[in-house]
Amino acid sequence: MKPLITWPIALITGACAPWTPASSLSYSAEPVPDGIAIRLPPRHEVMQRWLLPPDQPWAPFTKATLLSALDEQPPPTPESLPDVRRLSIVQRAQAAALALARGGVPPRTLWIVDLRGAASVAFVATLSLRAPVAPILTFNNWPAEDEVIPAEETLSALLFYSPVMPPRNVIATPVFALDAFRLAYREESVDEATDNRYALSSADFPSASQLGPLGIDHVIYVVERWGDGEVEEDDLHDVFATWADAGVPITVMDLGQVVEEPRVDVYLGEHRYYPVPRVTIVEGPWLHEHSPGGFGGHEGAPHFAGARGGWLSGGGG
């Protein structure tokens, strides 16, 4: 499969356009690494490794879409998949996860890791080796020939890395693994490519009223880099706004800050992020005209409910 992430980059539309995690990947992503021969395991084996058991309260939010791209009876010969271990962002994500584990994961926190898909996988898997966390996959597309975003790369990471599931009756810290590529290349034409982009929705995360009963009183958003003028990804805006309006603290950390902060709990008390009202591509026609290869976005004509379009994906589906 040939991910189309080396296209000529168009100029950003509008100098004041907010910078999101997908923007960084659209304009400066590392190339997809060369392939390595992997003997594919059967689908059920990988699902057993990555999907939370049903008695875990976070299990309903996990998506098995990308894992479903594997065959139950894989071919006997090895397949070539990107060797994501060579990506510097994957190595940085692992270093950040180890640093977080050393300093201690603050209790009653929910983590949203919005990195390149393979890096998010490496982060949550590495962290789970040292701390009781509940890995929650949100990857909602399949690999395809001439794909816009490298779903095959994320799938490869799910084969290379395995999490340690939290013990029964242990309160585990939820860590949502997102692919920051999901809304990338929004200024590009994809007429001759398989558009496997997608968007998440508020139904894919716990509501503000659910957070407290689930033992959460602070949300941490982890991105690759964070600077002045940067904002959360467009499909997270309504989710963050709803949480903030309900008084749920949100803190943003980039990988460098996670590595450098010896006491994340102290950092959370001193830093709080408030999403500023803005227009996102989720609210316009963009998702109705793009991402037919994704499973979590709009499809076809919009079915309006007030000012919002209708979503196909359900909570935790």
Q: pLDDT at position 192, please?
A: 76
Q: What is the pLDDT of residues 278-292, one digit of tens each?
A: 989 887 666 666 665
Strands 250-254 and 35-38: unpaired
So what's the pLDDT on residue 41? 96
DSSP letter, residue 194: B
| Mean pLDDT in residue range 38-54 | 95
Confidence of residue 4 (pLDDT cuts 50, 70, 90): very low
pTM for the model stands at 0.87
User: Which residues are bridge partners to 218 per DSSP?
Assistant: 109
H or E element: which one contains 255?
A: helix 255-260
pLDDT one-digit tens code per residue, 234-278? 999 999 999 999 999 999 999 999 999 989 999 999 999 999 999
pLDDT in tens, 55-96: 899 999 999 999 999 999 999 999 999 999 999 999 999 999
The better pLDDT of the pair 124, 146 is held by 124
| Residue 301 pLDDT greater than 50, yes or no | no
| Cβ-contact 69, 142 below 8 angstroms | yes
Measured CA to CA in angstroms, residue 140 lies from 1, 67, 124, 179, 182 at distances of 18, 9, 17, 9, 9
For residues 208-214, give the mean pLDDT: 96
Cα distance between the two ends of the chain: 27
pLDDT in tens, 303-316: 222 222 222 223 33
